[in-house]
Amino acid sequence: MRLRKALTMKGVPRLPGDKSISHRAALISAIATGETRINNYSASADCTSTLQCLKDLGVPVEVDSGSVVVTGVGRSGLSRPEGLLDCGNSGTTIRLLAGILAGQKFDSTLTGDSSLRSRPMERITAPLTEMGASITSTEGKAPLKIQGRDPLRAIDYRLPIASAQIKSAVLLAGLNADGVTTVVEKAPTRDHTERMLEWFGMSVGREERDGMRISVSNGQPVSPGLLKVPADLSAGSFFMVGAACLPGADITLEGVGMNTTRSAIVDVLKNLGVAVEIIESSVECNEPVATIRVRGGLGNPSNDLPSQINGTIIPNLIDEIPILAVLGTQLPNGLEVRDASELRHKESDRISSIVRNLKLMGADVTEYADGFHIKPSQLIGARLESYGDHRIAMAFAIAGLLADGETEIAGAECSEVSFPGFFQTLQGVVR
């Protein structure tokens, strides 16, 4: 994919349905009893992997003009798959599905592409094993062979890493455990699983006591229905940052998920003086939703220190850090990101992917084990790598619009993992 410097950006780019919410809608509707219609389900490769795994587990799934219809088989109604369950590139699919499969009576094996097979899985196999499942991995990596146990043992589990995927795996396993399963998180992570369980009629305990304690119990009916997935704010962040950096830009994102455990990107842009307007807000499937308008132009900072992003805000913008790094090059005092070592365990080692591509574009950047420091830099077009990572491909597409000359991104088609048609959508708004 080749990109050239843009003059500005205008329009209303259509975003896919939220990826995290789509996965949860499909997985929980599979264990409900009866039919759930999911409107605006993400057509991304990752969310398609979730649907294929559910079909392989005997769940009737139909895709019907932009909606997905799942006929739930109940919490103990999944059937033993004939072959391997292929989660493709999707960390959310493998980790959340492992939580559900840990409490089934049959054995199953979860695998994925080479990127997914290189990512750490011990973080979920440890608590699920404590609950009574037997899981075999290859040195803590997929394929994961799961011998389920029904019922599992309820546990009280303090998250060692701020990760919504680990939290969700344990909570979903808790639906098939004998008693109350509690996960304790010291920093808030996205709470879509909790909200989706509630949408399906289950009660989820939340209590602030030495961290947030989130509890579920078994035996609760899972009631199906009709739900609409909000548009994906993380997908929208590429347009928000592109607009912020391009003078005269005016972008509107409609019906976007604005869950506070995801929306830190909006606060960061506002704090940088970007004109971000929240036009209308509502609620869809127990999730806050809004229309967001972003107009071009970065404000002038009140001091000469680099912007700092670190600490407990990191999990709330973890997927936006590649595009924030591109933004950092345009900030008058640059940007420092710390406490983000989790980025090294994403679809690629994102700290390394960001730093390498920025250096190729002539940026002045220092790499740390847990982040990076970027000095303000005029970017120059270069031949970049996506490293097979959708968010790197899309972040550097925006960098290409800001750079002098031509930028080429090898393997940019991996953007389909979360945003089908990203490059056409981008072309539609660039001027």
Q: Which sequence positions are flagged as catalytic?
A: 319
CB atoms within 10 A of CB 165: 22
* 74-to-33, 104, 127, 176 alpha-carbon distances in Å: 5, 11, 23, 11
Give, for 395, the enclosing helix (H) or strand (E).
helix 390-402
Closest distance to ligand S3P from the beta carbon of 349 (Å): 14
Instruction: Tell me which of 86, 319, 320, 385 binds ligand S3P, using CB under 6 A.
Output: 319
Range in contact with ligand S3P (rule: CB under 6 A) among 4-12, 63-71, 112-120, 157-165: 157-165
Site string for ligand S3P, 339-378 (x = CB under 6 A): ---x------------------------------------
Distance separating alpha carbons of residues 297 and 299, to the nearest angstrom = 6
Residue type, 431: R
* 139-to-115, 122, 259 alpha-carbon distances in Å: 15, 8, 35
In this structure, what DSSP letter does residue 404 have?
B
Closest distance to ligand S3P from the beta carbon of 78 (Å): 21
Contact between 389 and ligand S3P by CB under 6 A: the answer reads: no
Instruction: Tell me which of 26, 116, 155, 164 binds ligand S3P, using CB under 6 A.
Output: 164
Between 190 and 295, whose beta carbon lies closer to ligand S3P? 190
Between 18 and 56, whose beta carbon lies closer to ligand S3P? 18
By CB under 6 A, how many residues form the interface with ligand S3P?
11
Closest distance to ligand S3P from the beta carbon of 166 (Å): 7
Distance separating alpha carbons of residues 169 and 132, to the nearest angstrom = 14
Closest distance to ligand S3P from the beta carbon of 341 (Å): 11
Written as six digits, the tokens of 44 are 């991304």
Distance separating alpha carbons of residues 151 and 154, to the nearest angstrom = 9
- Residue 143, Cα to own-chain centre: how many angstroms? 22
Between 163 and 181, whose beta carbon lies closer to ligand S3P? 163
DSSP string, 83-118: S-EE-TT-HHHHHHHHHHHTTSSSEEEEE--TTGGG
Q: Name residues whose C-beta falls within 8 Å of residue 306's C-beta, 6 or more positions apart in sequence.
A: 331, 333, 334, 335, 336, 373, 374, 375
Closest distance to ligand S3P from the beta carbon of 215 (Å): 19
Identify the sign of the CA torsion 87, 92, 96, 102: positive
Site string for ligand S3P, 85-114 (x = CB under 6 A): -------x----------------------
Between 122 and 280, whose beta carbon lies closer to ligand S3P? 122
The residues in 43-82 that bind ligand S3P, with binding defined as CB under 6 A, are: none
Between 99 and 148, whose beta carbon lies closer to ligand S3P? 99
Between 20 and 330, whose beta carbon lies closer to ligand S3P? 20
CB contact at 8 A, 431 and 10: yes
Range in contact with ligand S3P (rule: CB under 6 A) among 68-76, 159-167, 281-289, 350-358: 159-167
The residues in 183-242 that bind ligand S3P, with binding defined as CB under 6 A, are: 189-190
Distance separating alpha carbons of residues 148 and 396, to the nearest angstrom = 42
Between 272 and 318, whose beta carbon lies closer to ligand S3P? 318
Instruction: Tell me which of 22, 36, 42, 165 binds ligand S3P, using CB under 6 A.
Output: 165
Range in contact with ligand S3P (rule: CB under 6 A) among 3-11, 54-62, 102-110, 164-172: 164-172
Instruction: Tell me which of 49, 108, 163, 425 binds ligand S3P, using CB under 6 A.
Output: 163
348, 384, 344, 345: which is closest to 363 by C-alpha? Answer: 384
Residue nearest to ligand S3P (CB): 20
Closest distance to ligand S3P from the beta carbon of 5 (Å): 30
DSSP string, 233-302: HHHHHHHHHHHHHSTT-EEEEEEEE--TTTTHHHHHHHHTT-EEEEEEEEEETTEEEEEEEEES-PPPPS
User: What are residue 309's DSSP bridge partners?
Assistant: 337
The residues in 16-35 that bind ligand S3P, with binding defined as CB under 6 A, are: 20
Closest distance to ligand S3P from the beta carbon of 35 (Å): 24
Instruction: Tell me which of 318, 397, 401, 409 binds ligand S3P, using CB under 6 A.
Output: 318
Closest distance to ligand S3P from the beta carbon of 373 (Å): 22
Distance separating alpha carbons of residues 225 and 69, to the nearest angstrom = 10
Between 111 and 163, whose beta carbon lies closer to ligand S3P? 163
Positions that interact with ligand S3P (CB under 6 A): 20, 92, 163-165, 168, 189-190, 318-319, 342
